[in-house]
Amino acid sequence: MRNDILPVIKAQLAIDLNCSLDDFDKEGLVFCEAKENPGRRPFPRESTHFEMLTMGGAIIVSATANLLPYLKWQLKGLNRESAFAQPFVCGCGHYFLPNNLKQSEVLPIPSGYEFKFEEGTDIHKYYGLDTLPNAIQHDKEHLRPDVLVLTATKDGKLAGMAGASADCEMLWQIGIDVLPEYRKAGLAASLTNRLALEILERKKIPYYGTAQANVASQRVAFVSGFKPAWVCVYRGRFDGVLTSPSG
C-alpha cells in the first residue's frame, strides 16, 4: 500500500472516530466517545451511534456516551474476531486503498466500449436512473457530493459508471454500477481502475468500500489495483439492551 496515503487515512479516521493517531498501533480494545469533530466525514449519525474499526492493530470502538458502558462490559477481554462477531454487530464494511497504483498499471478498455469523464453539474443528468444505485448520490444537496464520474457506453447506450463522491477534503469514495447485460466483461474493474488513477492525478485519495458479503465487489477492488485497508462496523442492534452493566 502506498506509504504516502496511510498517514492521511489515519488522520481522517482519527477525526471520524475521535481517537488519537497512536491508538491505531495499540493492542486490544480502545474506547472513544463519538464527537462531531470538525472535518469528520459527514455520514449520518443517530442519537445512539456506534462504530468499530480495525486496520489490523487495535480495535477502535467509537460510540455515544449512552452506549459506552454497555460496550465496555460486552467487549471486555475479547479478541478482534470475537469482537466483530458479537450479536449486536450489524453492517460491516470492507474498505480498500490503492496498492501502489500508478499510470503504468491502467487496465485496458474492453472491446467495443467508449469511456468518458464527466464532472460537476454535468453529473446531474444521470440522477434518477434506477440502473445507477451505487455509482452516484442522486442528490444535488448531498453532504458528500458527486465530483467525478467515468461512464462506459456501447453502441450509444449507457453500460456502466464509476463515480467519486467527495467524502471529505482528501478522500474521494468510488462507487460502481454496471448494467446486468454488460457484466463479466471486465468493465467494472476497468472503470474503477481508470477513475482511481484520475483521482490520484488530482492529488486526492480514492478509496473503495463494499459490504462484507459482496464478494463480487471485493474482486473488482483487487483487480482494479486496490488492497484491503480497514474493516468497520457502522451500525449496531441495541433495541432493548442495557446501556450499562447495572441497567
Question: How does pLDDT run across 213-228, given as a tens digit for each residue?
Answer: 999 999 999 999 999 9
Band of pLDDT at residue 100, cut at 50, 70 and 90: confident
Q: Which of 90-94, 137-141, 217-221, 228-232 has the lowest mean pLDDT?
A: 90-94
Nearest 5°: the CA angle 224, 150, 199 is 65
| 98 and 206 Cβ atoms separated by less than 8 Å | yes
pLDDT at 176: 98
Band of pLDDT at residue 102, cut at 50, 70 and 90: confident
Q: Which helix or strand (DSSP H or E) is residue 62 part of?
A: strand 59-63
Mean pLDDT of 192-220: 96
Q: Where in the chain do CATH 3.40.630.30 domains reside?
A: 103-224
Secondary structure class of 239 (helix, strand, coil) = coil
pLDDT at 240: 66
Domain 103-224 belongs to what topology?
Aminopeptidase (3.40.630)
Q: Which residues of 65-99 are buried (b: 16+ CB within 10 A; e: fewer)?
A: eebbbbbeebbeeeebeebbebebeeebbbbbbbb
Mean pLDDT of 165-171: 98
| 160 and 204 Cβ atoms separated by less than 8 Å | no
| 221 and 189 Cβ atoms separated by less than 8 Å | no
Band of pLDDT at residue 242, cut at 50, 70 and 90: low
